[in-house]
Amino acid sequence: MCGIAGIIGAFETYQLDAMLLSQHHRGPDATGKYIDRDFAALGHNRLAIIDLSPASNQPFLDPSGRYVLVFNGEIYNYIELKTEMKGLYSFKTDSDTEVLLASFLVYGHDCLQKLNGMFSFAIWDNQDKKLFAARDRFGVKPFFYCTEKDSFYFSSEIKAIHAAGISRIPFEKVWASYFAYGSYGNPDETFWEEILQLPGGHFLEFQNQQLVLKKWYFFEDEVAKQPKNLTFEQAKEHYVVLLKDSINLRFRADVPIGFNISGGLDSSVLLALVNVQEDNSKINGYTFYTNNPDYDELPWVEMMIAKTKNPLTKVLLQVEDVPDFAQKMEGQQDEPYGGIPTLAYAKIFEQARKDNVLVLLDGQGMDEQWAGYDYYTQENDATIQGVMDSPFKINLLSDSFLEKAEKPNYPKPFVDAILNKQYRDLFYTKIPRALRFNDRISMLFSTELREPFLDYRLVEFAFSLPLDFKIKNGTTKFMLREIASEYLANDLAFAPKRPLQTPQREWLAEDLKNWVKECFSTVEKSKYGVWFDKAALEKELELYFGGTIQSSFHIWQCISLYEMIQNIN
Protein backbone atom coordinates (compact mmCIF):
# COMPACT_ATOMS: atom_id res chain seq x y z
CA MET A 1 0.00 0.00 0.00
CA CYS A 2 1.51 3.26 -1.06
CA GLY A 3 1.09 6.64 -2.66
CA ILE A 4 1.84 7.48 -6.28
CA ALA A 5 2.33 10.84 -7.95
CA GLY A 6 3.49 12.16 -11.28
CA ILE A 7 3.59 15.00 -13.77
CA ILE A 8 3.75 14.42 -17.52
CA GLY A 9 4.76 17.46 -19.57
CA ALA A 10 6.13 20.74 -18.23
CA PHE A 11 7.12 20.52 -14.56
CA GLU A 12 9.50 21.65 -11.86
CA THR A 13 11.07 19.07 -9.57
CA TYR A 14 9.86 20.95 -6.49
CA GLN A 15 6.27 20.26 -7.59
CA LEU A 16 6.82 16.51 -7.40
CA ASP A 17 8.59 16.93 -4.06
CA ALA A 18 5.57 18.82 -2.70
CA MET A 19 3.20 16.14 -3.95
CA LEU A 20 5.17 13.36 -2.28
CA LEU A 21 5.49 15.29 0.98
CA SER A 22 1.73 15.91 1.12
CA GLN A 23 0.98 12.17 1.03
CA HIS A 24 4.01 10.92 2.95
CA HIS A 25 1.65 9.17 5.41
CA ARG A 26 0.68 6.74 2.64
CA GLY A 27 4.19 5.34 2.52
CA PRO A 28 6.64 6.26 5.28
CA ASP A 29 9.11 3.45 4.53
CA ALA A 30 10.71 4.90 1.40
CA THR A 31 10.30 7.80 -1.01
CA GLY A 32 11.56 7.58 -4.57
CA LYS A 33 11.59 9.71 -7.73
CA TYR A 34 12.20 9.15 -11.43
CA ILE A 35 12.87 12.11 -13.72
CA ASP A 36 12.71 11.95 -17.51
CA ARG A 37 13.84 15.53 -18.08
CA ASP A 38 11.36 17.71 -20.04
CA PHE A 39 8.91 14.81 -20.31
CA ALA A 40 7.94 13.20 -17.00
CA ALA A 41 8.43 13.09 -13.25
CA LEU A 42 7.17 10.09 -11.27
CA GLY A 43 7.21 9.64 -7.51
CA HIS A 44 6.33 7.03 -4.92
CA ASN A 45 5.72 6.78 -1.17
CA ARG A 46 6.21 3.20 -0.03
CA LEU A 47 4.49 1.28 2.74
CA ALA A 48 6.35 -2.03 2.62
CA ILE A 49 4.01 -5.03 2.91
CA ILE A 50 5.37 -7.69 0.52
CA ASP A 51 9.14 -8.18 -0.01
CA LEU A 52 10.38 -5.58 2.45
CA SER A 53 13.80 -5.23 0.80
CA PRO A 54 14.97 -1.96 -0.82
CA ALA A 55 15.16 -3.85 -4.14
CA SER A 56 11.37 -3.51 -4.34
CA ASN A 57 11.31 0.23 -3.80
CA GLN A 58 9.67 2.34 -6.48
CA PRO A 59 9.67 3.86 -9.06
CA PHE A 60 10.49 0.39 -10.40
CA LEU A 61 12.25 -0.07 -13.75
CA ASP A 62 12.19 -3.08 -16.04
CA PRO A 63 15.60 -4.64 -16.95
CA SER A 64 15.86 -2.55 -20.13
CA GLY A 65 15.18 0.71 -18.30
CA ARG A 66 12.47 1.64 -20.79
CA TYR A 67 9.41 1.18 -18.56
CA VAL A 68 8.95 2.81 -15.16
CA LEU A 69 6.21 1.74 -12.74
CA VAL A 70 4.64 3.47 -9.74
CA PHE A 71 2.02 1.31 -8.07
CA ASN A 72 -0.40 1.59 -5.15
CA GLY A 73 -2.14 -1.54 -3.89
CA GLU A 74 -1.63 -5.29 -3.82
CA ILE A 75 -1.76 -7.98 -6.50
CA TYR A 76 -3.00 -10.88 -4.40
CA ASN A 77 -2.42 -13.57 -7.04
CA TYR A 78 1.13 -12.44 -7.80
CA ILE A 79 2.61 -15.85 -6.97
CA GLU A 80 0.40 -17.59 -9.52
CA LEU A 81 1.12 -14.93 -12.14
CA LYS A 82 4.85 -15.20 -11.51
CA THR A 83 4.68 -18.95 -12.09
CA GLU A 84 2.68 -18.41 -15.26
CA MET A 85 5.33 -16.03 -16.64
CA LYS A 86 8.28 -18.27 -15.78
CA GLY A 87 10.65 -18.19 -18.74
CA LEU A 88 9.05 -15.05 -20.16
CA TYR A 89 10.62 -12.62 -17.69
CA SER A 90 13.66 -12.81 -15.40
CA PHE A 91 12.57 -11.82 -11.89
CA LYS A 92 14.99 -10.25 -9.42
CA THR A 93 12.65 -9.63 -6.43
CA ASP A 94 9.88 -11.42 -4.56
CA SER A 95 7.49 -8.48 -4.89
CA ASP A 96 4.08 -8.16 -6.48
CA THR A 97 5.34 -4.86 -7.90
CA GLU A 98 7.74 -6.60 -10.25
CA VAL A 99 5.06 -9.15 -11.17
CA LEU A 100 2.73 -6.31 -12.13
CA LEU A 101 5.31 -4.68 -14.40
CA ALA A 102 6.27 -8.05 -15.91
CA SER A 103 2.62 -8.87 -16.64
CA PHE A 104 2.27 -5.57 -18.50
CA LEU A 105 5.39 -6.31 -20.56
CA VAL A 106 4.22 -9.85 -21.35
CA TYR A 107 0.48 -9.32 -21.84
CA GLY A 108 0.05 -5.60 -22.52
CA HIS A 109 -3.36 -4.15 -21.62
CA ASP A 110 -4.73 -7.68 -21.24
CA CYS A 111 -2.74 -8.03 -18.03
CA LEU A 112 -5.58 -6.21 -16.27
CA GLN A 113 -7.91 -9.16 -16.78
CA LYS A 114 -5.42 -11.44 -15.02
CA LEU A 115 -5.00 -9.32 -11.90
CA ASN A 116 -6.79 -10.19 -8.67
CA GLY A 117 -6.14 -7.27 -6.43
CA MET A 118 -6.68 -3.67 -5.49
CA PHE A 119 -4.56 -1.32 -7.53
CA SER A 120 -3.95 1.97 -9.19
CA PHE A 121 -0.73 2.27 -11.12
CA ALA A 122 1.02 4.23 -13.84
CA ILE A 123 3.68 3.02 -16.27
CA TRP A 124 5.83 5.50 -18.16
CA ASP A 125 7.35 4.43 -21.48
CA ASN A 126 10.42 6.66 -21.77
CA GLN A 127 11.02 5.61 -25.38
CA ASP A 128 7.58 6.45 -26.82
CA LYS A 129 6.97 9.11 -24.13
CA LYS A 130 3.64 7.57 -23.24
CA LEU A 131 1.83 7.03 -19.94
CA PHE A 132 -0.44 4.06 -19.25
CA ALA A 133 -2.44 4.06 -16.02
CA ALA A 134 -5.19 1.81 -14.67
CA ARG A 135 -7.49 1.35 -11.69
CA ASP A 136 -8.91 -1.89 -10.25
CA ARG A 137 -12.39 -3.19 -10.99
CA PHE A 138 -14.26 -1.59 -8.10
CA GLY A 139 -11.96 1.37 -7.54
CA VAL A 140 -10.56 0.21 -4.21
CA LYS A 141 -7.41 2.24 -4.70
CA PRO A 142 -7.68 5.89 -5.81
CA PHE A 143 -6.33 7.63 -8.90
CA PHE A 144 -6.84 11.38 -9.22
CA TYR A 145 -5.71 13.47 -12.15
CA CYS A 146 -5.76 16.94 -13.63
CA THR A 147 -4.79 18.45 -16.96
CA GLU A 148 -3.46 21.98 -16.59
CA LYS A 149 -2.08 23.81 -19.62
CA ASP A 150 0.58 21.48 -21.06
CA SER A 151 0.86 19.10 -18.10
CA PHE A 152 -0.94 16.03 -16.79
CA TYR A 153 -0.86 15.53 -13.01
CA PHE A 154 -1.84 12.34 -11.16
CA SER A 155 -1.74 11.21 -7.55
CA SER A 156 -3.26 8.99 -4.87
CA GLU A 157 -4.75 11.93 -2.98
CA ILE A 158 -6.38 15.18 -4.06
CA LYS A 159 -4.20 17.22 -1.74
CA ALA A 160 -1.11 16.15 -3.67
CA ILE A 161 -2.39 17.80 -6.86
CA HIS A 162 -3.21 20.94 -4.92
CA ALA A 163 0.30 20.79 -3.45
CA ALA A 164 1.69 20.91 -6.99
CA GLY A 165 0.10 24.31 -7.43
CA ILE A 166 -3.37 23.56 -8.81
CA SER A 167 -5.93 25.97 -7.33
CA ARG A 168 -8.24 24.63 -4.61
CA ILE A 169 -11.67 25.72 -5.86
CA PRO A 170 -14.86 23.89 -4.80
CA PHE A 171 -16.79 22.28 -7.67
CA GLU A 172 -20.18 23.75 -6.86
CA LYS A 173 -22.21 21.27 -8.93
CA VAL A 174 -20.93 18.35 -6.84
CA TRP A 175 -21.34 20.24 -3.56
CA ALA A 176 -24.91 21.24 -4.50
CA SER A 177 -25.79 17.65 -5.45
CA TYR A 178 -24.31 16.45 -2.15
CA PHE A 179 -26.52 18.80 -0.12
CA ALA A 180 -29.64 18.28 -2.24
CA TYR A 181 -29.49 14.54 -2.93
CA GLY A 182 -26.70 13.06 -0.81
CA SER A 183 -24.63 12.37 -3.93
CA TYR A 184 -20.85 12.23 -3.63
CA GLY A 185 -20.40 12.79 -7.37
CA ASN A 186 -20.21 10.50 -10.38
CA PRO A 187 -17.38 7.95 -10.64
CA ASP A 188 -15.18 10.44 -12.53
CA GLU A 189 -15.87 13.50 -10.33
CA THR A 190 -14.45 15.04 -7.17
CA PHE A 191 -15.58 17.96 -5.01
CA TRP A 192 -12.87 20.16 -6.56
CA GLU A 193 -12.72 21.94 -9.88
CA GLU A 194 -10.25 20.61 -12.45
CA ILE A 195 -9.55 17.44 -10.45
CA LEU A 196 -11.06 14.22 -11.76
CA GLN A 197 -10.74 10.57 -10.81
CA LEU A 198 -10.17 7.62 -13.08
CA PRO A 199 -13.29 5.46 -12.60
CA GLY A 200 -12.84 1.93 -11.33
CA GLY A 201 -12.40 -0.62 -14.10
CA HIS A 202 -10.93 1.97 -16.51
CA PHE A 203 -7.48 2.74 -17.88
CA LEU A 204 -6.04 5.83 -19.52
CA GLU A 205 -3.25 6.68 -21.91
CA PHE A 206 -1.57 10.07 -22.22
CA GLN A 207 0.74 10.91 -25.11
CA ASN A 208 1.47 14.09 -27.09
CA GLN A 209 -0.94 16.09 -24.91
CA GLN A 210 -3.77 13.69 -25.80
CA LEU A 211 -5.72 11.88 -23.07
CA VAL A 212 -7.72 8.75 -23.86
CA LEU A 213 -9.87 6.87 -21.31
CA LYS A 214 -11.18 3.35 -21.87
CA LYS A 215 -13.26 0.92 -19.85
CA TRP A 216 -11.64 -2.48 -19.32
CA TYR A 217 -13.97 -4.17 -16.82
CA PHE A 218 -17.47 -5.02 -18.03
CA PHE A 219 -19.32 -6.30 -14.97
CA GLU A 220 -22.56 -7.15 -16.78
CA ASP A 221 -20.70 -9.39 -19.23
CA GLU A 222 -18.88 -11.18 -16.41
CA VAL A 223 -22.13 -11.78 -14.54
CA ALA A 224 -23.61 -13.31 -17.69
CA LYS A 225 -20.72 -15.80 -17.83
CA GLN A 226 -21.41 -17.25 -14.37
CA PRO A 227 -22.61 -20.87 -13.99
CA LYS A 228 -26.32 -21.31 -14.59
CA ASN A 229 -29.01 -23.62 -13.15
CA LEU A 230 -27.06 -24.55 -10.03
CA THR A 231 -28.95 -26.01 -7.11
CA PHE A 232 -28.85 -24.13 -3.82
CA GLU A 233 -26.31 -26.60 -2.40
CA GLN A 234 -24.11 -26.46 -5.53
CA ALA A 235 -24.09 -22.67 -5.46
CA LYS A 236 -23.31 -22.61 -1.76
CA GLU A 237 -20.42 -25.04 -2.18
CA HIS A 238 -18.97 -23.03 -5.07
CA TYR A 239 -19.24 -19.75 -3.16
CA VAL A 240 -17.50 -21.20 -0.09
CA VAL A 241 -14.57 -22.37 -2.23
CA LEU A 242 -14.22 -18.86 -3.70
CA LEU A 243 -14.60 -17.24 -0.29
CA LYS A 244 -11.90 -19.32 1.36
CA ASP A 245 -9.54 -18.70 -1.55
CA SER A 246 -10.18 -14.97 -1.40
CA ILE A 247 -9.27 -14.83 2.29
CA ASN A 248 -6.23 -17.04 1.78
CA LEU A 249 -4.93 -14.71 -0.94
CA ARG A 250 -5.37 -11.71 1.32
CA PHE A 251 -3.24 -13.27 4.02
CA ARG A 252 -0.18 -12.89 1.82
CA ALA A 253 2.02 -10.34 3.55
CA ASP A 254 5.41 -10.02 5.19
CA VAL A 255 4.03 -7.97 8.10
CA PRO A 256 1.50 -8.73 10.88
CA ILE A 257 -2.18 -8.99 9.86
CA GLY A 258 -5.32 -8.29 11.90
CA PHE A 259 -9.02 -7.90 11.17
CA ASN A 260 -11.83 -5.50 11.99
CA ILE A 261 -14.94 -6.91 13.61
CA SER A 262 -18.41 -5.66 14.46
CA GLY A 263 -21.35 -7.68 15.73
CA GLY A 264 -22.91 -8.24 12.31
CA LEU A 265 -23.18 -11.25 10.03
CA ASP A 266 -20.43 -10.15 7.63
CA SER A 267 -17.90 -9.75 10.42
CA SER A 268 -19.01 -13.10 11.83
CA VAL A 269 -18.27 -14.82 8.53
CA LEU A 270 -14.90 -13.06 8.31
CA LEU A 271 -14.06 -14.11 11.88
CA ALA A 272 -15.00 -17.72 11.20
CA LEU A 273 -12.91 -17.99 8.03
CA VAL A 274 -9.96 -16.07 9.44
CA ASN A 275 -9.79 -18.85 11.98
CA VAL A 276 -9.52 -21.46 9.26
CA GLN A 277 -6.02 -20.03 8.73
CA GLU A 278 -3.06 -21.76 10.30
CA ASP A 279 -1.81 -20.34 13.61
CA ASN A 280 -4.86 -18.10 13.95
CA SER A 281 -4.27 -17.52 17.67
CA LYS A 282 -1.97 -14.60 16.84
CA ILE A 283 -4.44 -12.85 14.53
CA ASN A 284 -5.67 -9.75 16.37
CA GLY A 285 -9.25 -8.54 16.15
CA TYR A 286 -10.12 -4.84 16.44
CA THR A 287 -13.44 -3.22 17.25
CA PHE A 288 -14.60 0.23 18.34
CA TYR A 289 -17.13 1.29 20.95
CA THR A 290 -18.48 4.55 22.39
CA ASN A 291 -19.73 3.46 25.83
CA ASN A 292 -23.32 3.82 24.64
CA PRO A 293 -25.26 0.54 25.06
CA ASP A 294 -27.93 1.68 22.58
CA TYR A 295 -25.39 1.59 19.75
CA ASP A 296 -22.31 -0.38 20.78
CA GLU A 297 -21.96 -3.88 19.36
CA LEU A 298 -19.31 -4.82 21.89
CA PRO A 299 -21.43 -7.51 23.64
CA TRP A 300 -21.97 -9.30 20.31
CA VAL A 301 -18.30 -8.99 19.40
CA GLU A 302 -17.15 -10.34 22.75
CA MET A 303 -19.57 -13.26 22.45
CA MET A 304 -18.15 -14.11 19.03
CA ILE A 305 -14.51 -13.72 20.07
CA ALA A 306 -15.09 -15.87 23.18
CA LYS A 307 -15.64 -18.83 20.86
CA THR A 308 -12.56 -18.29 18.67
CA LYS A 309 -10.15 -17.02 21.35
CA ASN A 310 -8.58 -14.41 19.08
CA PRO A 311 -6.92 -11.48 20.88
CA LEU A 312 -9.32 -8.53 20.80
CA THR A 313 -8.37 -4.86 21.00
CA LYS A 314 -11.27 -2.58 21.93
CA VAL A 315 -10.87 1.04 20.81
CA LEU A 316 -12.91 3.78 22.47
CA LEU A 317 -14.15 6.91 20.74
CA GLN A 318 -15.24 9.54 23.25
CA VAL A 319 -17.47 12.48 22.45
CA GLU A 320 -14.83 15.01 23.46
CA ASP A 321 -12.50 13.57 20.81
CA VAL A 322 -14.81 14.49 17.96
CA PRO A 323 -14.12 18.19 17.13
CA ASP A 324 -10.32 17.93 16.86
CA PHE A 325 -10.41 14.50 15.24
CA ALA A 326 -13.01 15.68 12.72
CA GLN A 327 -10.75 18.53 11.64
CA LYS A 328 -7.81 16.17 11.26
CA MET A 329 -9.96 13.74 9.29
CA GLU A 330 -11.29 16.39 6.91
CA GLY A 331 -7.71 17.45 6.21
CA GLN A 332 -6.98 13.86 5.20
CA GLN A 333 -10.23 13.05 3.40
CA ASP A 334 -10.15 16.18 1.15
CA GLU A 335 -13.91 15.68 0.61
CA PRO A 336 -16.98 15.07 2.79
CA TYR A 337 -17.05 11.72 4.57
CA GLY A 338 -19.44 9.55 6.54
CA GLY A 339 -19.58 11.29 9.90
CA ILE A 340 -18.75 10.11 13.40
CA PRO A 341 -18.84 6.39 12.46
CA THR A 342 -15.90 7.11 10.14
CA LEU A 343 -14.05 8.75 13.03
CA ALA A 344 -14.70 5.71 15.22
CA TYR A 345 -13.48 3.39 12.47
CA ALA A 346 -10.35 5.51 12.03
CA LYS A 347 -9.48 4.97 15.69
CA ILE A 348 -9.00 1.28 14.88
CA PHE A 349 -6.28 2.02 12.33
CA GLU A 350 -4.61 4.45 14.68
CA GLN A 351 -4.38 1.72 17.31
CA ALA A 352 -3.33 -0.98 14.85
CA ARG A 353 -0.40 1.16 13.72
CA LYS A 354 0.67 1.59 17.34
CA ASP A 355 0.50 -2.20 17.68
CA ASN A 356 2.61 -2.62 14.49
CA VAL A 357 -0.28 -4.46 12.82
CA LEU A 358 0.06 -3.00 9.34
CA VAL A 359 -2.65 -4.93 7.47
CA LEU A 360 -6.30 -5.19 8.50
CA LEU A 361 -9.11 -7.13 6.85
CA ASP A 362 -12.75 -6.08 7.00
CA GLY A 363 -16.15 -7.27 5.77
CA GLN A 364 -17.06 -4.60 3.22
CA GLY A 365 -19.11 -5.73 0.22
CA MET A 366 -21.47 -8.48 1.41
CA ASP A 367 -24.67 -6.42 1.56
CA GLU A 368 -24.29 -5.26 -2.01
CA GLN A 369 -23.67 -8.69 -3.52
CA TRP A 370 -26.27 -10.48 -1.37
CA ALA A 371 -29.05 -7.80 -1.41
CA GLY A 372 -28.72 -7.23 2.33
CA TYR A 373 -30.26 -3.77 2.74
CA ASP A 374 -33.94 -3.35 3.67
CA TYR A 375 -34.60 -0.97 0.77
CA TYR A 376 -33.78 -3.61 -1.85
CA THR A 377 -37.29 -5.02 -1.52
CA GLN A 378 -39.02 -1.63 -1.21
CA GLU A 379 -40.39 0.30 -4.16
CA ASN A 380 -38.30 3.44 -3.75
CA ASP A 381 -34.90 4.86 -4.62
CA ALA A 382 -33.57 4.89 -1.05
CA THR A 383 -29.87 4.42 -0.47
CA ILE A 384 -29.85 4.58 3.33
CA GLN A 385 -30.75 1.62 5.55
CA GLY A 386 -33.43 2.01 8.22
CA VAL A 387 -34.45 5.67 7.60
CA MET A 388 -38.14 6.47 7.03
CA ASP A 389 -37.98 10.20 6.22
CA SER A 390 -35.62 11.71 3.67
CA PRO A 391 -32.37 12.87 5.29
CA PHE A 392 -31.85 15.41 2.49
CA LYS A 393 -33.06 18.95 3.22
CA ILE A 394 -33.39 20.80 -0.07
CA ASN A 395 -35.22 23.63 1.72
CA LEU A 396 -31.92 24.68 3.32
CA LEU A 397 -30.40 25.70 -0.01
CA SER A 398 -30.65 29.03 -1.80
CA ASP A 399 -32.44 28.93 -5.13
CA SER A 400 -29.27 29.85 -7.06
CA PHE A 401 -27.24 27.07 -5.42
CA LEU A 402 -29.99 24.47 -5.78
CA GLU A 403 -30.11 25.15 -9.54
CA LYS A 404 -26.56 23.77 -9.77
CA ALA A 405 -27.53 20.42 -8.27
CA GLU A 406 -28.09 17.40 -10.49
CA LYS A 407 -30.28 14.59 -9.25
CA PRO A 408 -28.40 11.31 -9.80
CA ASN A 409 -29.71 9.13 -12.58
CA TYR A 410 -28.04 5.74 -12.28
CA PRO A 411 -27.81 3.18 -15.10
CA LYS A 412 -30.16 0.20 -14.99
CA PRO A 413 -28.48 -2.46 -17.11
CA PHE A 414 -30.51 -5.36 -15.71
CA VAL A 415 -34.18 -6.30 -16.13
CA ASP A 416 -34.64 -6.99 -12.41
CA ALA A 417 -35.16 -3.93 -10.17
CA ILE A 418 -33.25 -5.44 -7.24
CA LEU A 419 -30.25 -6.24 -9.42
CA ASN A 420 -30.24 -2.63 -10.60
CA LYS A 421 -30.22 -1.42 -6.99
CA GLN A 422 -27.33 -3.77 -6.21
CA TYR A 423 -25.51 -2.51 -9.32
CA ARG A 424 -26.09 1.10 -8.26
CA ASP A 425 -24.70 0.44 -4.78
CA LEU A 426 -21.66 -1.42 -6.13
CA PHE A 427 -20.57 1.16 -8.68
CA TYR A 428 -22.20 4.49 -7.80
CA THR A 429 -23.21 4.83 -4.15
CA LYS A 430 -22.44 2.55 -1.21
CA ILE A 431 -19.20 0.86 -2.25
CA PRO A 432 -17.46 3.86 -3.88
CA ARG A 433 -18.16 5.97 -0.81
CA ALA A 434 -17.06 3.35 1.70
CA LEU A 435 -13.90 2.58 -0.27
CA ARG A 436 -13.04 6.25 -0.48
CA PHE A 437 -13.54 6.86 3.25
CA ASN A 438 -11.69 3.67 4.16
CA ASP A 439 -8.68 4.19 1.91
CA ARG A 440 -8.06 7.61 3.39
CA ILE A 441 -8.51 6.67 7.05
CA SER A 442 -6.28 3.60 6.77
CA MET A 443 -3.61 5.53 4.91
CA LEU A 444 -3.73 8.40 7.40
CA PHE A 445 -2.20 5.98 9.88
CA SER A 446 0.09 4.23 7.35
CA THR A 447 -1.84 0.97 7.43
CA GLU A 448 -3.31 -1.23 4.71
CA LEU A 449 -6.96 -2.26 4.49
CA ARG A 450 -7.99 -5.36 2.55
CA GLU A 451 -11.58 -6.30 1.65
CA PRO A 452 -11.74 -10.04 0.88
CA PHE A 453 -15.50 -9.95 0.21
CA LEU A 454 -14.90 -7.59 -2.71
CA ASP A 455 -12.94 -10.21 -4.63
CA TYR A 456 -14.47 -9.80 -8.10
CA ARG A 457 -15.09 -13.57 -8.37
CA LEU A 458 -17.30 -13.50 -5.28
CA VAL A 459 -19.22 -10.41 -6.34
CA GLU A 460 -19.90 -11.64 -9.88
CA PHE A 461 -21.03 -15.08 -8.73
CA ALA A 462 -23.26 -13.96 -5.84
CA PHE A 463 -24.78 -11.21 -7.98
CA SER A 464 -25.75 -13.75 -10.65
CA LEU A 465 -27.66 -16.07 -8.30
CA PRO A 466 -31.47 -16.28 -8.20
CA LEU A 467 -33.19 -13.83 -5.89
CA ASP A 468 -34.60 -16.58 -3.64
CA PHE A 469 -31.00 -17.63 -2.86
CA LYS A 470 -30.45 -14.12 -1.50
CA ILE A 471 -33.80 -13.29 0.12
CA LYS A 472 -36.08 -16.03 1.43
CA ASN A 473 -39.22 -15.61 3.53
CA GLY A 474 -38.13 -12.06 4.32
CA THR A 475 -34.64 -13.12 5.46
CA THR A 476 -31.91 -11.23 3.62
CA LYS A 477 -28.53 -12.70 2.67
CA PHE A 478 -30.11 -16.12 3.10
CA MET A 479 -27.39 -18.28 1.51
CA LEU A 480 -24.69 -16.39 3.36
CA ARG A 481 -26.49 -17.05 6.63
CA GLU A 482 -26.69 -20.73 5.75
CA ILE A 483 -22.93 -20.73 5.17
CA ALA A 484 -22.34 -18.89 8.44
CA SER A 485 -24.48 -21.35 10.39
CA GLU A 486 -21.94 -24.08 9.61
CA TYR A 487 -19.33 -22.12 11.58
CA LEU A 488 -21.40 -20.07 14.04
CA ALA A 489 -24.37 -20.43 16.36
CA ASN A 490 -27.74 -19.61 14.77
CA ASP A 491 -28.24 -16.58 17.03
CA LEU A 492 -25.30 -15.01 15.21
CA ALA A 493 -25.87 -16.38 11.73
CA PHE A 494 -29.56 -15.41 11.64
CA ALA A 495 -29.47 -12.22 13.71
CA PRO A 496 -31.21 -9.25 12.03
CA LYS A 497 -29.04 -6.63 10.35
CA ARG A 498 -27.95 -3.84 12.67
CA PRO A 499 -26.49 -0.76 10.98
CA LEU A 500 -22.98 -0.03 12.22
CA GLN A 501 -23.70 3.05 14.29
CA THR A 502 -22.48 5.56 16.81
CA PRO A 503 -24.60 7.95 18.87
CA GLN A 504 -23.97 10.65 16.24
CA ARG A 505 -27.52 12.03 16.38
CA GLU A 506 -27.51 12.40 20.17
CA TRP A 507 -23.94 13.70 20.40
CA LEU A 508 -24.54 16.41 17.80
CA ALA A 509 -27.82 17.46 19.44
CA GLU A 510 -26.59 17.42 23.03
CA ASP A 511 -22.92 16.93 23.99
CA LEU A 512 -21.56 18.72 20.91
CA LYS A 513 -24.31 21.34 20.67
CA ASN A 514 -21.99 24.34 21.08
CA TRP A 515 -19.54 22.99 18.52
CA VAL A 516 -22.36 22.41 16.03
CA LYS A 517 -23.57 25.99 16.58
CA GLU A 518 -20.06 27.26 15.90
CA CYS A 519 -19.87 25.22 12.69
CA PHE A 520 -23.19 26.57 11.41
CA SER A 521 -22.32 30.15 12.38
CA THR A 522 -18.98 29.95 10.56
CA VAL A 523 -20.67 28.58 7.43
CA GLU A 524 -23.30 31.35 7.48
CA LYS A 525 -20.67 34.09 7.81
CA SER A 526 -18.34 32.65 5.18
CA LYS A 527 -18.48 33.32 1.45
CA TYR A 528 -20.25 29.95 1.16
CA GLY A 529 -23.18 31.31 3.17
CA VAL A 530 -24.80 32.26 -0.15
CA TRP A 531 -25.29 28.55 -0.79
CA PHE A 532 -28.03 28.54 1.86
CA ASP A 533 -31.32 30.06 2.87
CA LYS A 534 -30.03 31.27 6.21
CA ALA A 535 -33.46 31.51 7.86
CA ALA A 536 -34.21 27.90 6.88
CA LEU A 537 -30.78 26.81 8.07
CA GLU A 538 -31.32 28.36 11.49
CA LYS A 539 -34.84 26.91 11.71
CA GLU A 540 -33.61 23.41 10.87
CA LEU A 541 -30.90 23.64 13.54
CA GLU A 542 -33.51 24.80 16.07
CA LEU A 543 -35.74 21.84 15.20
CA TYR A 544 -32.79 19.47 15.55
CA PHE A 545 -31.85 20.77 18.99
CA GLY A 546 -35.53 20.56 19.89
CA GLY A 547 -35.60 16.81 19.34
CA THR A 548 -36.20 16.23 15.61
CA ILE A 549 -33.18 13.97 15.26
CA GLN A 550 -34.30 10.98 13.23
CA SER A 551 -31.52 11.84 10.78
CA SER A 552 -28.38 13.89 11.39
CA PHE A 553 -27.07 13.70 7.82
CA HIS A 554 -27.92 17.35 7.03
CA ILE A 555 -26.20 18.45 10.23
CA TRP A 556 -23.06 16.57 9.32
CA GLN A 557 -23.14 18.04 5.80
CA CYS A 558 -22.78 21.53 7.25
CA ILE A 559 -20.02 20.34 9.57
CA SER A 560 -18.21 18.93 6.52
CA LEU A 561 -18.45 22.32 4.82
CA TYR A 562 -17.21 24.01 7.99
CA GLU A 563 -14.17 21.73 8.10
CA MET A 564 -13.47 22.39 4.41
CA ILE A 565 -13.55 26.14 5.09
CA GLN A 566 -11.08 25.70 7.94
CA ASN A 567 -8.73 23.71 5.75
CA ILE A 568 -8.93 26.15 2.83
CA ASN A 569 -8.08 29.02 5.13
Task: Provide the annotated binding site for L-glutamine.
Answer: 96
Q: Mark the binding-site residues, compressed into ranges.
A: 96
- Catalytic site includes residue 111: no
Phi, psi at 78, each rounded to 5°: -65, -30
Phi, psi at 459, each rounded to 5°: -65, -45
Catalytic residue among 2, 111, 146, 558: 2
Maximum separation of any 2 CA atoms in the chain, in Å:
72
DSSP state of 320: G
Helices 265-274, 478-485: axis angle to 10 degrees equals: 40
Helices 553-568, 172-181: axis angle to 10 degrees equals: 160
Which amino acid is present at 479?
Answer: M
DSSP state of 51: S
Strand, helix or coil for residue 100: helix
Could you tell me the CA-to-CA distances from 189 to 169, 239, 304, 335, 403 in Å, in that order? 14, 34, 40, 11, 18
Burial category of 487 from C-beta neighbours within 10 Å (exposed 0-12, middle 13-18, buried 19 and up): middle
Q: In what order do the strands lie in the sheet with 284-289?
A: 312-316, 284-289, 257-260, 359-361, 448-450
Could you tell me the CA-to-CA distances from 334 to 169, 437, 568 in Å, in that order? 12, 10, 10
Phi, psi at 53, each rounded to 5°: -70, 155
Residues annotated as part of the active site: 2
